[in-house]
Amino acid sequence: MTKITFIGGGSTVFAKALMGDLLSKPHLAHAELCLFDIDPERLRLSEAVGHRLADALGVTPRITATTDRERALDGADYALNMIQVGGYRPSTVIDFEIPARYGLRQTIGDTLGIGGIMRALRTIPVLLDIQRDMERLCPDVLHLNYANPMAMNCWALRRASPIRTIGLCHSVPHTADKLAHDAGVPADELRYLVAGINHMAFFLRLEHEGADLYPRLRARLEEGRVPDDDRVRYDLLGRFGYFVTESSEHLAEYVPWYLHVRRPDLVEKYGIPLDEYPRRCRLYEAAWGYIEAELREPGSQDPEALRQRLWAQEPDAMPSQIDAITGDLAAMDEVRPSGEYASDIIDSVHTGEPRRIYANVPNHGSIQGLPDDCCVEIPCLVDGTGVHPTRVGALPPQLTALMRTNVNVQELTVEAALSGRRDHVHQAALLDPHTAAELGPDEIEAMVDELLEAHADRLPEGLRPVER
């Protein structure tokens, strides 16, 4: 029996989506789904949801749940990782509140910037512990990582362990769907080639029935028909010539030009939602009672009642945030494809059926001009022998140059996590495009020291404050 382990299986909404995908595959419908989490209550909820999905699909998997990580990993063929070390409270709150006192505001804080650096430093040690367990208990496992910061996590894991780790993100297919809408073509007829680094990969080709769609996107920009929630990405398209894969609120943190608290005119011009991720977390906190009740008893909750409650609590929320949460609630009793790659990868490896997906893997020459061991997001072919990266070659030089500014921060953060050198944390922050655009060097180093102290109990030993 194929064993698929969920690390962080108490992330019930996401686990539900992935379990639904897996159990919808005929060859995986009778697999063992082993859910692991450190929260027993959320774990029991996810287990109950898994059984209900199986009943709805008429399949007979073996679904187990455990708070024992070794038991969960023992003999696993595949491991899906979706952990968030430190959670929203206290860790993400710290990542936003301390920088804000220095005048550094963020939107998401999970990929780059000071928030991404700190998240990597507390996540990588936990992932390394997990992989050491894998080396003993399931050395041939295929580890599919969803945890952010994707590039830094995967870079560190592939350097420190022989376990096969593939990073998965939905930004490529989600952006493809958005571009199809903006260009006025059916999403399933879109043809594209994407390459770069996670959250900063670019659509190198974008076509419909052999026709280049970029002229349509540039026309929207020139005619002022840019969507209000995507002004940053369209501006970057105008200046660099290609469309990037992650949302405007994410992208604003990866470059030095848009997110300036001391220039509120720029924040307003580009429609940048400050503190977007903390606001989203507060919304989910407010919604969790509704979601949990719906998970336990489908059809018992009213999405419109939840919508009104969320608007009352967070009147400045983005409409898309409210729509996403109420949409989750409305779909709790449905089994529908999530669009995530995990089930397709596992099915292809299990059956040998070839597929093409986008994944985060070591560069190893796939993209010229980027470090050989950095993590890149590129097309990969999947079959019965595993996941095989393709070679993309040289990118337009302006795109490679832009990516290097992010890769520099990733590399120093990975070095800090693996070596315990505090100076590399300072240097990563000093080189971060957004941080350097807002703060002076003394402010940056003081902020980093304060963050390291606040996160001390979750950091590698060398990064903890020295007791005097």
Q: Helices 422-431 and 397-419 sit at what angle, rounded to 10 degrees? A: 160
- DSSP secondary structure, 381-399, as one string: EEETTEEEEPP-BPPPHHH
Cis check: omega of the bond before 90, within 30 degrees of 0: yes
Cis check: omega of the bond before 139, within 30 degrees of 0: no
Q: How many residues does the chain have?
A: 468
Q: Which amino acid is at 3?
A: K
| H or E, element range at 14 | helix 12-23
* From 30, 170, 174, 208, the catalytic residue: 170
Structure tokens at 297: 């008893």
Nearest to residue 209, comparing CAs of 243, 242, 174, 184? 184
Number of helices (H) and strands (E) in the chain: give both, helices first.
19, 12
Catalytic site includes residue 170? yes
CB atoms within 10 A of CB 57: 15
What residues contact 288, with CB distance under 8 A and at least 6 apart?
none
* CA–CA dist 184, 213 (Å, integer): 10
Structure tokens at 299: 């059809």
Query: Distances in Å between the alpha carbon of 428 and those of 173, 398, 448?
Result: 30, 22, 10
| H or E, element range at 278 | helix 276-296
Query: What is the β-pairing status of strands 78-81 and 3-7?
Result: parallel
Instruction: Tell the burial category of 294 from Cβ atoms under 10 Å away from its Cβ (0-12, 13-18, 19+).
Output: buried
Structure tokens at 279: 């606001």
Catalytic residues: 170
